[in-house]
Each structure stands twice: as C-alpha cells, then as structure tokens.
Amino acid sequence: MWWCRTGVSGWGLIGCPPQHEILLIDNGSSDPACLAYLSELETRPEVRLLRRPGPFNYAALNNEAAAQARGEVLAFLNNDVEALQPGWLRTLVAEALRPEIGAVGARLLFDDGTVQHAGVLLGIGGIAGHAHKYFDAKANGYQLRLQLTHQLSAVTAAVLVVRKVLFEEVGGFDADHFVVNYNDVDLCLRLMARGYRNLYCPDALLIHHESRSRGAPSSPEAINQWRLESSAMQRRWGPWLIADPHYSPHLSLLEENFSLALRPSAPASRPRANLEPLER
C-alpha cells in the first residue's frame, strides 16, 4: 500500500512546464508489482520516495510530505484515484492560487460513473457526507450545483489542492485526533474559520476507487477508530456540524441527495454556527 502526495509549483503534472515535484509515501507496500513500480519511479529526478513503514496515520504521513515539499501549492492525491482527462490539476491550482481561497476539491466518480464526491456537506449522519453521492455524473444536481464551481464547507483530501502557506498557517492535518477519519473536514473547517473559502470544482474529473488499497474499514479496530474520531469532531465542531452555512436547514441530514428533511421540528430551530475560530 502506498500513498501519493504532490508538491506543485507552477501548473501541475501533465503536459505542463516542469516546475513540479512528486512526493510518494510508501507506508509498507508488499505487492511485488507495486514495489517494482515504486523502484522505477524512484529513478526519476522529479520523484522523491518516502519509505515510511509502520502504523497507518494518514494525517501524519501527509504532514511530513507537505513539510518536505518545495512547491507553492500542495496537491494531496490518494493512490486510488485516476484522472479521466488532462488539465485537471491546472484547473484546481488556478482556483487555489486565488488569495481568498482555501482548499479546492474535485468531482470524483465511482467505477460505474456515478458521483462519489462533489464536496462535503456538514451534519449528514451526524458529522458530514458527500454531496450528490450516487448521482449520475452528467446530472445537473441540486440547483445545478453538481456542474458548477461553488463554495462549500469542506472537500475530501482524496484530491485536495491548497497553498502550502495556508496549510502551514492552520497547522496541517491534525495527526493526534484524526489519524484516519475526518482529517480533511477538520482541515477545511479550520481554513473556513480563518475566513478562507473552500471550493468544489467539477471541471477536475477523476475516478476514486474508494478504499481499493486498504480495504473497507470494517474491522473492530477500524470501527473503534471511527468512533473515537467522530467523538473528537463533535467536541471540536459540534455547533458547526448542525448549521452548515452552505446547506439549507430544510434539507435532509440523513441522505446525501439534497432531499427534503422529514422531521417534525421546524427547520428554523437549527442553531447557526458561531464562526469564530476555535481552539485546535
């Protein structure tokens, strides 16, 4: 199993000037084909391979790679994503370089062409969920939002672009409280708390073969990890999670399809978030 993280300076990786570097994190790969591929990549001058065996800590591994990156822009990229068209990174970087923008995320699809991620909605299932999940990729979505670049509270780190100075300003991913889950949402909320706008960008289109390398988190240990990190999110961001400023209180907190909320209490009773920065 290995994780790809990229430090970018200038315009991206494919068909662009060579002002970029690739940092690959190998967290204990064992598959012979994968090891052979990593060895081949290691010979390329633009690639730095970081061999980091041991327990999987998504946040800490990414923080280390980000600290070593020399570029102005960081592009966090899981090893289970696949670009469907050229120019996707150029598009994300162009948005991330705007001074008011924090994190920028892509439109990610499942293998069958339905939507896996089109931004993150707070409050779904108690913490957060992916907007337009399982929609057809060509659908317009709720108020055309599936096809339009727009502001959201958070995006997934499976494909996330952010200026390095902002990543460092908020302290990077929280490797103590969000080892595996919610580290991306927590990062985005800390950016939003400082006044930056997080964006979903549908023109960057990729497939996300979700959990392909690590498998579904179904073991007792993984479930316990999720429970601990869910509790940490509730403690840190509780008021925010029930009052997403980019998601109507009239819409469901159980579904990710923008359906109407079916609950007896008046939607107006949902408290609004206190948008003052919170202690980390």
Range of the domain at 207: 81-269
Residue 32 in any domain: the answer is: no
Residue 215 in any domain: the answer is: yes
Residue 67 in any domain: the answer is: no
Q: How many separate domains does the chain show?
A: 1
Packing angle, helices 220-241 and 183-193, rounded to 10: 20
pLDDT digits (tens, 9 = 90+) for 13-67: 333 434 789 999 999 888 899 889 889 988 998 899 999 999 999 999 999 999 9
The confidence score (pLDDT) of residue 272 equals 52
pLDDT digits (tens, 9 = 90+) for 15-30: 343 478 999 999 988 8
Residue 48 in any domain: the answer is: no
Its pTM stands at 0.87
Q: What is the CATH number of the domain that holds 257?
A: 3.90.550.60
Name the band, by pLDDT with cuts 50, 70 and 90, for residue 276.
low
Rg (CA), the chain: 18
pLDDT digits (tens, 9 = 90+) for 85-135: 999 999 999 999 999 999 999 999 999 999 999 999 999 999 999 999 999
Q: List C-alpha distances in Å: 12 to 68, 166, 220, 221.
A: 18, 18, 39, 37
